[in-house]
Structure 1
Amino acid sequence: MRERGRTRRLMGLGARTGGSLLKSRLGGEANWRALGEALFEGLSELKGPAMKMAQVMSQWDDLLPPDLADELARLQRQAQPMPWPAIRRTLVEELGELGAFFSDIEETPFASASMGQVHRATTREGETLVMKVQYPGLAQVLESDLVQLRRLLWLGRWFRVPQARLEAIFDELAEGLRQELDYQAEARALARYRSRYADNPDLRIPAVVERFSTGRVLAMEYLPGTPLRDLEAAPDPLRQQVAGILADWLTEELFTHGELHADPHAGNFAVDDQGRLILYDLGAVIPVTEAKLKSMVHLLDATLQQDPLAMENAMLELGGRQGEGAPLTLYKESAAAIAPLFATGEQDFGDVRVHRRLRELSPRVWAAMDRFQPPADTLLLSRTLNGHYWNLVRLKARLDMQTRTQPLLEWARGVGS
């Protein structure tokens, strides 16, 4: 779709969304399911930044109307693929005549995302690969799409999302999309992670096949597995094994290597037939400084002590809360909602009572975001960790979080250093 047509389509979807929001605000009955279906169809076709923003929004199930959230969530798993001729054209432009290298390339992708899609291929030598192919022309329309999305930010106010929060989310999204367009950076990240975890028997990261990788194509070895989102009905021992691996890996990522896989979408992880965790997508990896980690653990420490004044000091240390009027009551209620996950013994991440309490509190936290004023890098880190939390919920994990976090709390306090 040409740039002018994309702009008209984006503005049309924005106008339809605004109309539904206005109707609801005035007391009318908005058809959220119909709006969600229209957004799903339109954004599946457009791909790029708008689809990515909708995927992020679909995680706001505590704010969006349920029918709308359900439809947007489909973009995570059922997005319409780009037609094969367009994808093939990109492959030929990047690699040359495909028949010289491949005996077969499956025309139907087994994964379609906001910035590219993945096709399975077999080389002339019989090796099975996956080819991640960037959507044609996306780099050329990225910045213009971002301009249009920024103009649509006002729609978020209907959901009582503060302007500061909207701007931070947008800036985070824009930077992440620019990073995801750089397939060479992702190839370097894959190599780095494979080296980092080479001796970890519980993790698998696909190897890059350099001879078929370019700026718009990323070729990797094929590592089959069951997607994390499909494990909800798996046997309990397997789910608990995977949950433990996931929790251990996240801790090592942050506190040993100072990095974090920043796209926690459940489709980016899978489990092989030996119960090992496979990491598929490393298009978004963020650095996390030791100072930032210590500040966040100080906030966790204060939260677990249910000390609102200490929570306020931790927020100031993080670089937020520069204004007057600390929301001490909200701090206290947040601590009371979070503390049960860190009580003595194993805690059940499938306990709906905990989620219900967090969801009931969430709109008030969002509404107070202008008072919290969290820095943008903390927003991204928090959103990522929240996504991984929901992956543990999907697995119905049972974890002794108190035992797991105690060494981290002592480290942040300087105990034994």
Structure 2
Amino acid sequence: MRFQALNRMVRMSALPLGVARRAGLAGGLKVLGRLTDESALELHEQTADQLFEVLGGLKGGVMKFGQVLSVYEAVLPPSISDVYRRRLVLLQEAARPESAEMVHRVMEQDIGPDWQDLFASFEFDAAAAASLGQVHRAVWHDGRPVAVKVQYPDAGEQLLGDRDLLVFAMRWFTSLVAPELDGRALAGELMDRIAEELDYAQEARSQTAFRSGFADDPDFRIPEVVRQDGRVLVSEWIGGTPLAQIISSGGQAERDRAGLLLTRLMFSGIPRCGLMHGDPHPGNFRLDDDGRLGVLDFGAVHRHRPGTEPPLQKWMRVHLAEDPEELLRVLRELEFLSPDVRVDAGRLKDLFDRTGAPVRADLFKFDAAYLRDTLGGLTDSMSVGLGLAFPPDLVQAQRAIGVAIAVLCRLEAEIPFRDEGIRWLDPTPPSSSTYVL
């Protein structure tokens, strides 16, 4: 094993071990995974500091781990969630960039020795660093401001090398910050999907499809792909206020507007371009001064198979079921429940009544209390929920739905979620806005 890989293993392994050690030093405060009261605040502060220090310096799947935690920390009480919010917003928006030498090497290898001739100017200091690459501001030779996404040379190797350790760390950390979640399953699925994000040519095609589907839309701004070569993707530069900033300090009108547009993006992607944005964490969105939502990063998308029912339509049908018998019928029809499996329909209805609360109100207020109640319902109904199957082709879409709902809760947005969904699931959905905030 190379020294670098060994060093990464040691640092990664230190994360869950550090949590266990601090929990032990807490004098039996609570069982690990239930440390959610005020007396645990110092423990969470120490854990968050270590999380930022270790994950902020590593790339690949480890950064995705931080992004997931930064979304699901909403399930914690406000005093504790604020600890993770401060650290992990920084992790999303300000990961440590690689050197200018690395950037020059990748650009030269994938575009050519004269690559700088394509730009009127190029800033070697990274504007943002993400899980698999970093972004640089530049000016294209025709004067257009552009974002240049450069993939880390060893991103693929590190991604595969991090897999087992990431699953290990995710299990331990989610037991601390969100005990209702299955950290092992979440991490395993994440790693499989992240591998697809290494293909910048595929990302460019997805981005172009989104831009075409949302052309001239008054609510969204999708950056144009300017050029793609190997590990380099050049796109139109998108400004605006980061969604993470709106979460931390935005007014209610901004929160509601951003929440409505995020919902609209998730529901309207398949009707408009056959794709669903697969990574709706706060770092991928900007709110323009003109009210449009700028959408970034199309490496992870759900590709809809024509002639099949969209994932969000299935989600709505399940949650709009009027009674336990109708719910069972819908679940069996959608192949979430095998014909030979017998379950307690009443308990299942109670579970989906909790998760489907947004579709039972004209306006629904997303907040941490709803998310905690939903996850609590999943825990209480675990025995009956084990009878449900989950179609493999919906795993990525379901994760995207869950992350988007968690972001809505962090925004504390009040929006017409049900009606927004229904209008886009109509066979002939509209192409312009109905609700204006």
TM-score interval, smaller chain: 0.7 to 0.9
Residue 270 of structure 1, CA deviation: 1.4
Distance 2:239 2:140 in 1: 17
Mean CA deviation greater in 351-360 or 136-145: 351-360
> Match of 1:4, as an amino acid?
L
CA distance in 1, matches of 2:11, 2:387: 35
Which shifted more, 134-143 or 25-34? 25-34
Corresponding letter in the other structure for 1:114: S
Query: C-alpha separation between the residues in 2 aligned to 1:302 and 1:356?
Result: 20
Which residue of the partner structure matches residue 44 of structure 1?
56
Greater Cα offset, 30-39 or 279-288: 30-39
Distance in 1 (alpha carbons) for counterparts of 2:8 and 2:359: 47
Superposed CA offset, 1:104-139 (max 9, x none): 322332222111111101345543211111123112
| Deviations 1:31-83 (CA, angstroms, capped at 9, x unpaired) | 23212211211111111112212322333336678367444454223323334
State the SS of the aligned residue for 1:11.
helix
- Cα distance change on mapping 1:126 and 1:162 into 2, 3 Å: closer
Q: Post-superposition shift, 1:153? A: 6.3
Check whether the contact 2:285–2:295 (CA below 8 A) recurs between aligned residues. yes
Q: Counterparts of 1:91 and 1:55 in 2: how far apart (Å)?
A: 27
Q: CA deviation at 1:284?
A: 0.7
Q: Distance in 1 between matches of 2:24 and 2:331?
A: 35
Whole-angstrom distance in 2 between the partners of 1:152 and 1:367 = 26
- Partner SS state of residue 57, structure 2: helix
- 2:5 matched to which residue of 1? 3
Unaligned runs of 5+ in 2: 31-39, 428-437
Partner in structure 2 of residue 331 of structure 1 = 348
Pick aligned residue for 1:274 from 281, 287, 290: 290
The yes-or-no answer on 1:34 pairing with 2:46 is yes
Report whether the alignment pairs 1:120 with 2:115: no
* CA apart distance, 1:265: 0.9
For 2:69, the equivalent position in structure 1 comes to 57
CA contact (8 A) 2:52 2:88 kept: yes
What is the identity, as a one-letter code, of the residue corresponding to 1:204? R
Distance 2:132 2:220 in 1: 26
Structure 1 residues 83, 24: closer, same or farther in 2, change over 3 A?
A: farther
- Aligned-residue RMSD, C-alpha: 3.7
Shift of 1:260: 0.5
Greater shift in the superposed pair: 121-130 or 149-158: 149-158
Pair 191,333 (structure 1): closer, same or farther in 2 beyond 3 Å: same
- Name the counterpart of 1:190: 207
**Does the 8 A contact of 2:146 with 2:236 survive in 1?**
yes
Contact map agreement 2:263 2:420 (CA 8 A) in 1: no
- In the alignment, the residues of structure 1 paired with residue 55 and residue 323 of structure 2 have an alpha-carbon distance, to the nearest angstrom, of 44
1:227 aligns with 2:260: no
Corresponding residue number in structure 2 for 1:206: 223
Partner in structure 1 of residue 128 of structure 2:
111
TM-score (norm 2): 0.77
The one-letter amino acid paired with 1:381 is A
Q: What corresponds to 2:153 in structure 1?
A: 136
Tell me how far apart the structure 2 counterparts of residues 406 and 106 of structure 1 sit (CA, whole Å).
45
| Per-residue deviation, 1:261 | 0.4
Counterpart mapping for 1:272-311 below 5 A: 272-289=288-305, 293=309, 297=313, 300-311=316-327
More deviation, 137-146/299-308: 299-308
Distance 1:180 1:295 in 2: 21
- Residue 149 of structure 1: aligned partner: 166
Deviation string 1:81-112 (CA, Å, 9 cap, x unpaired) is 33433334333333325543445322332222
SS of 1:231 mapped into structure 2? helix
Contact kept in structure 2, 1:106 and 1:120, CA below 8 Å: yes
Residue pair 1:47, 1:115 contacting (<8 A) in 2 also: yes
Distance of 1:74 and 1:244 partners within structure 2: 25
- The number of aligned residues is 407
**Residue 415 (structure 1) aligns with:** none
249-258 vs 174-183, which moves further? 249-258
